[in-house]
Amino acid sequence: SEGSLSIPPSSNMGEDDFTKPSSPDSESLAPIQREKWTRKMDFILSVAGGFICIGYASMVVVALLNIYYIVILAWAFFYLFQSFTTELPWGKCGQYWNTPCCVATYSKSNSLNQTLLNISMSTTEYWERRVLGLSTGLDDVGTVRWELALCLLLSWVICYFCIWKGVKSTGKVVYFTATFPFLMLIVLLIRGVTLPGALTGIRFYLTPDINKLANPQVWIDAGTQIFFSFAICLGALVSLGSYNKFGNNCYKDCIILSLVNSGTSFISGFAIFSVLGFMAEEQGVHISEVAESGPGLAFIAYPKAITMMPVSTLWAILFFVMLILLGLDSQFVETEGFITSFVDMFPRQLRKGYNREIFIAATCFISYLVGLTMVTNGGMYVFQLFDYYAASGVCLLWVAFFESGAIAWIYGKDVYVYPEWGTAIGWVLALSSMVFIPGYAIYSFVITPGSIRE
């Protein structure tokens, strides 16, 4: 029988579907039947063969991303399990991981014997000394933190069972993992805006700092965030979108995705900065002194603010459950995209029997073993190394550059069909200059006295 054409879906070539088996027996191996290209040559010409390497590059990026991103889930699980106590452990000092300089609450009115430079917050010590067991550097990896290793294993097991049956099981899981965090976000938002000092935090959030716009790093960080939030150049959306019908309205999906993603991020800012404003007022400091970014926000600043709230245990549980579901949602979508790429490359081998499930299990297990390096004493240094280099904005911009070139020069800009309203705008632009010739002639004729002959 005729062989299959296998192109990694993560090449993001703008097609709605990729790599369908062409023979009847190979079609029956697919867990979910997807529509086929009319002719294989159409697909080959549309992506110009050589640019398949872009798909391979995306697969490597997403593979590295899957290895280190899930470590955040392991940290969140650790905090969640530690939240089931009457008193949150990161909100107090005097425990075996604390130093003599530990303080539970910092304020400018502290009357301590040690200088302010020696003060160490209980939340920071809990994060660095209890959770991470942080070593002195990358050259001092230390031993595996078995509690984090178990949390990492739990994260991978959950991820496996979310995707092991393909996009059908993934779709069912998304109904919960995508909607429940929205409910938690609304609850945390309502709680945040009702706290003292919330208005200060919201004002800080909405007030732009024009001077920072001149800093290139700000634009790099913003671009990286956009790439990650929309999964650009990672292949996940293309892989999942390949299950759509050819007639699916991709433009509508893009608009909805953009509005929901940006709107959620904007609303999340109110939930976060209202709590940070409350935290700043309680400590009597400026909000810029309590604002954190990256892991520091999720595992230092926000947990500290939670300890200041009534019924802090409940809010801690809700916050970390929301964090886990948000992270899990991103994790299994990216993992599914990576798996789909391989399955489409080797359909005859991976679509037979339980081969797909076995391949997913092997992928998760290997990723777990590599990820163990990030739950050691020096794991944070390994994590930051992956975060800064393996799947950073530089890598994604590199892939995006060649993808854009492939689409513009190979696939062709003339393939795009403008909607009627778009064409109407084009004619308005054209007429905006053309109308002056007859328009001014008519105007001159009307205002000039005398007959036409005169």
CA pair distance 290, 121, nearest whole angstrom: 11
Going from the C-alpha of 184 to that of each of 44, 178, 257, 317, 392, the distances in angstroms are: 46, 11, 20, 11, 29
Distance CA(62)–CA(68), nearest Å, equals 10
Q: Provide the 3-class DSSP secondary structure of residue 144.
A: strand
Q: Give ∠ CA 233-47-251 in degrees, rounded to 5.
A: 55
Q: What type of residue is 454?
A: E
User: What is d(CA 128, CA 135) in angstroms, rounded to the nearest whole number?
Assistant: 9
Q: How far apart are CA 267 and CA 389, in angstroms?
A: 30
Q: How far apart are CA 437 and CA 442, in angstroms?
A: 9
* Closest by CA position to 301, among listed 442, 90, 112: 90
Tokens describing residue 44: 């080959």
Residue 359 neighbours by CB distance under 10 Å = 16
Q: How many CB atoms lie within 10 A of CB 277?
A: 27
Does the annotation flag 326 for ligand binding?
Answer: yes
Alpha carbon 319 to chain centroid, angstroms? 18
**What sign does the CA torsion over 153, 157, 163, 164 have?**
positive
Cβ burial of 283 (10 Å; 0-12, 13-18, 19+) is: buried
* Residue 330 assigned as binding residue: yes
248 is in an annotated binding site: no
Query: Number of C-alpha atoms within 13 angstroms, CB side, residue 148?
Result: 26
Helices (H), 230-311: 236-241, 250-283, 295-296, 302-307
Residue bearing tokens 């999964």: 231
* CB 90 within 8 Å of CB 122: yes
Q: Residue 148, annotated ligand binder?
A: no
DSSP per-residue letters across 352-364: STTHHHHHHHHHH
Alpha carbon distance, N-terminus to C-terminus of the chain:
85
Specify binding-site residues for Na(+): 229, 261, 326, 329-330
Specify binding-site residues: 229, 261, 326, 329-330
